[in-house]
Structure 1
Amino acid sequence: MKRSANGGISPAVRARPAPLRIVTSEAPPPAFAKAKEISLSPDDSLEEAAARIFSASLDHFAANVALMPASDAAESVHQMRVALRRLRAAIGLMRAALDGPALETAREEAKALANVLGAARNWDVFGDMLKGPREVFGSDPSFDALLAAVERRRARAYRDARKTLASPQAAQFVEALRLAIAQRDWRIDENMRAAGSARDFASEALTRLRKRLLKKSRGLATLSPEARHQARIALKKARYGAEFFYSLYPDRKATRAYLRALEDMQDGMGALNDMAVANSLLDDIDAEGGAALRASAFTRGWFAHAACAGVAHAEKSEKRLKELEPFWA
């Protein structure tokens, strides 16, 4: 891979890619693309498995860029964020055995892209969360003002997201990582090129991720918002790791039970996180003052009441997690 003197990708390489295509026709938008299952063999080396895992996450991201219409693409934005999180998790997980400047650059660029998409996603989720309180609050002018304020910010976030995805930098990110994967542009422990090393690595990595999750989620229902955030990060990494490597293990029943439990736990923690984010978005709207303040106060109370159910769910999730048998044991 051609690199400049400072270790980055040379201008010659960066100049090649055309911008990623975003569908802008007036036809009904195509369906969003979910992550495809990753099929690995017990005989795979870790290097082979890593290349497949990185490529799957990159394909997931690029497919949704191509499917994103100019007007609205809530699920495509969500899937792109998932793809970028999975890619960053995979690069971080593999770092103990293989790493290098190309992967670290991809990880940083994935984070930057995810941050831009995150703003659009937050307003999408918040808009959906307002449906319940709106039904109770009725057609009050204050709620109309709140919805209008949300839509203005959402539209601005989408403009930023579309601009970023249509930029040369987004295309370069995809093309440079594809090239790095094709050329195996990383440093690697030679043992990780051996047949069967993927499963050896996976068993150790999944055990480590599970232990970290158990530690971070101890007393989940009573954790502070910051501690709960750290537990949520550990949960995502444990789930993504299991999704990357589950095909290496034959016990499908145990695998499905483990993944279902982590998915359910993530949904519950995600709901609590959405309420915390919603309050910060209301802070932004409230700073303007005006007609939306009354509806904003009502909505905060609605979310506070809903959070009680989230705490009960957290207690059940922690207990279920402790009882789960690792499918890789």
Structure 2
Amino acid sequence: MPKRKSPEGNALLAAGMTADAAIAAILTTGQAELVTAVRAALDRPRPDTVHALRMALQRLGAGLELCAGFAAEAPFETARRDARALSDGLGEARNWDIFISETLARRIEELAGTADIAALTEGAAAARHESYRRTGDLLAGPLPQKALLGVALLLSQTPWREADGRMPKRLAARIDGRARREIARADRRLRGSGKRLSRLSDEERREVDRAVRQFAHALECLAPLWPRSARLKRYRDRVLGLRAELDELAVMATTQRLLEHVAADDFSPGVQRAAGAMTGWAARDKIDRLAALDARWRDFRNAKRFW
């Protein structure tokens, strides 16, 4: 998979600011990124803009969960649920993009003379075209605007404050201690869910993958609270390494499902042979990836806490 560029966190956050100010900063940054990503995807629904929108939605979801932890209230749940629903709705198009441009592309030389990857690619392209038709319908529907409106209403109505607009002590407190507690809580939860990670089912591992992804986004968001911290960088690198292995295994599970989809639609010998060859390679790769996952998990488990 392509290397990710990690953002430098929420530039509006700073050590010593109040929880109230941090919530407003997280929402402001998330809203700006989401507006830009939605506009780009509506204008040009293609692989890069769809991927950018999904990343914006996932970062927003992680930010909303942090806001809920800072406020000890639940006015953020509807917006978080809408962001996740839109991100999940875009997932199928993204899966086909990865399948064609990455998974199949890197198998062409390996399977030359054994299987006709071109035939498999042709069938996958038709499925991707249909997934983008549904993506266009989703983007033209109410969900993107609902997600945008949800964040806008949070910023305009500030429902995490008292009904009369007053700020409770919890919100007036410095963000530093609250951020440490939120990270520590997420760290404990992840360490608990990651036991026997390589022996989990694909679906169970996918849930851990989602949790790791959200944790990585939260760390990126809060990074400015620990400026120039080498310990934070080392810890975050361990989390990102774990995330990369989990992502690869998630891609493998999705690849199998997409291969079955293409093979069910095209019974030609070329497609069936190519699908079988791809399945064999995926099974071999999964063994290697599970071994690598165990190593990444040990790296994370042994990471020194920076907070």
**Residue in 1 aligned with 2:176?**
199
Matched, 1:301 2:280: yes
Matched, 1:149 2:149: no
TM-fit CA distance, 1:70? 5.9
TM-fit CA distance, 1:277? 0.7
TM-fit CA distance, 1:142? 4.7
Q: Structure 1 stretches of 5 or more lacking a match?
A: 1-32
**Residue in 2 aligned with 1:126?**
99
Q: Give the aligned residue type for 1:80.
A: L
Matched, 1:216 2:193: yes
Q: Give the aligned residue type for 2:63.
A: A
TM-score under structure 2 length normalisation: 0.86
Matched, 1:324 2:303: yes
2:110 is paired with a residue of what secondary structure?
Answer: helix
Question: Measured at CA, do residues 121 and 68 of structure 1 come closer, stay the same or move farther in structure 2, by a change above 3 Å?
Answer: same
1:324 is paired with a residue of what secondary structure?
Answer: coil
Count the aligned residue pairs: 294
Q: Structure 2 stretches of 5 or more lacking a match?
A: none
Aligned residues of 1:81 and 1:117 also touching (Cα < 8 A): yes
1:105-124 paired onto structure 2 within 5 Å: 105-124=78-97
1:135 is paired with a residue of what secondary structure?
Answer: coil
Q: Give the aligned residue type for 1:148.
A: E
What is the CA–CA distance in structure 2 between the aligned matches of 1:37 and 1:315, rounded to whole Å?
A: 28
**Residue in 2 aligned with 1:13?**
none
Aligned CA-pair RMSD = 2.5
TM-score under structure 1 length normalisation: 0.80
Question: Measured at CA, do residues 322 and 251 of structure 1 come closer, stay the same or move farther in structure 2, by a change above 3 Å?
Answer: farther
Point out the more displaced range, 44-53 or 269-278.
Answer: 44-53
Matched, 1:310 2:289: yes
Decide which structure has greater helix share.
2
**Residue in 1 aligned with 2:10?**
38
What is the CA–CA distance in structure 1 between the aligned matches of 2:42 and 2:146, rounded to whole Å?
A: 21
Structure 1 vs Structure 2: percent identity of aligned residues?
26
**Residue in 2 aligned with 1:18?**
none
Corresponding residue to 2:68 among 95, 99, 103: 95
Question: Measured at CA, do residues 71 and 155 of structure 1 come closer, stay the same or move farther in structure 2, by a change above 3 Å?
Answer: farther
1:149 is paired with a residue of what secondary structure?
Answer: helix
Q: Give the aligned residue type for 1:194.
A: A
Q: Quick one: higher RCO (CA 8 Å, sep 6+), 1 or 2?
A: 2
Question: Measured at CA, do residues 100 and 187 of structure 1 come closer, stay the same or move farther in structure 2, by a change above 3 Å?
Answer: farther
**Residue in 2 aligned with 1:273?**
250
Q: Deviations over 1:255-309 (max 9, x none)?
A: 1111111112111110011000111111222222412211111111111111122
Matched, 1:190 2:168: yes
Q: Deviations over 1:117-140 (max 9, x none)?
A: 101100011112011222233378
